Amino acid sequence: MDFEVIKSYIPLFAEAFLLTIKTGWFGIALSFALGLICAFILYFKIPVLSAAVKVYVELFRNTPLLVQLFFMYYGLPILGIRVSAEICGIIGLGLLGGSYMTESIRSGLESVPKIQTESALSLGMTKPQLFRLVILPQAFAMSVPAIVANIIFLLKETSVFSAISLMDLMFTAKDLIGLYYDTTESLFLLVVFYIIMLLPVSILGTVAEKKARFKIYGV
């Protein structure tokens, strides 16, 4: 392994790293918002919309991100809609993640015992108050581990972005290998940058998980 090569590649990887983080976190934010809305729809069994959400979840959970991205990147222009690779990546990740987040948040909501709803109502709370003050905090405490797992999974999924020529970490590594045959150095940097990206998430996630659960369960 040539450390001079590694040193010279660092700026390129750093740039790709920032792009990966940016698209990754935008996608995750989108997936979370989507998941929250869809989980509410399922939890409240809103007619028609519930059925639509179920179709959406099954469609996106059961197809690879790569296929979804190809569809958007190469399919949409046929319909006259042209989107940049970056936007395409964010939307693709958001839609895929949304289906996972929906299920994680829904299971948290459904884990809150019915007696909590009844006691809140019998105290005169309105439905929005009941939801905001009683159900949601408990549901989140239950969902945190699943949400953290989803976030880590989605950040790793960004490696697929290289297929639609978004210059993320994976693209940069493949590019450099193709151009200069510095395979070892490129792969080494790829691993290092992914770990730099994910380790803090993993650690913070564990802390958040402990904090959320401790209040309620004491462990």
Contact positions vs another protein (CB under 8 A): 113, 115-116, 118-126, 129, 133-134, 137-138, 141, 215-218
At its nearest, how many Å lie between another protein and the CB of residue 142? 11
> Which of residues 95 and 135 has its CB atom nearest to another protein in the complex?
135
C-beta of 107: minimal distance to another protein in Å? 17
Q: What are phi and psi of 214, to 5 degrees?
A: -60, -45
Considering beta carbons, is residue 7 or 215 the nearer one to another protein? Answer: 215
**C-beta of 174: minimal distance to another protein in Å?**
47
Nearer to another protein, 84 or 111 (CB): 111
Least distance (Å) between residue 141 CB and another protein? 7
Residue 150 Cβ vs another protein, minimum distance, rounded to whole Å: 22
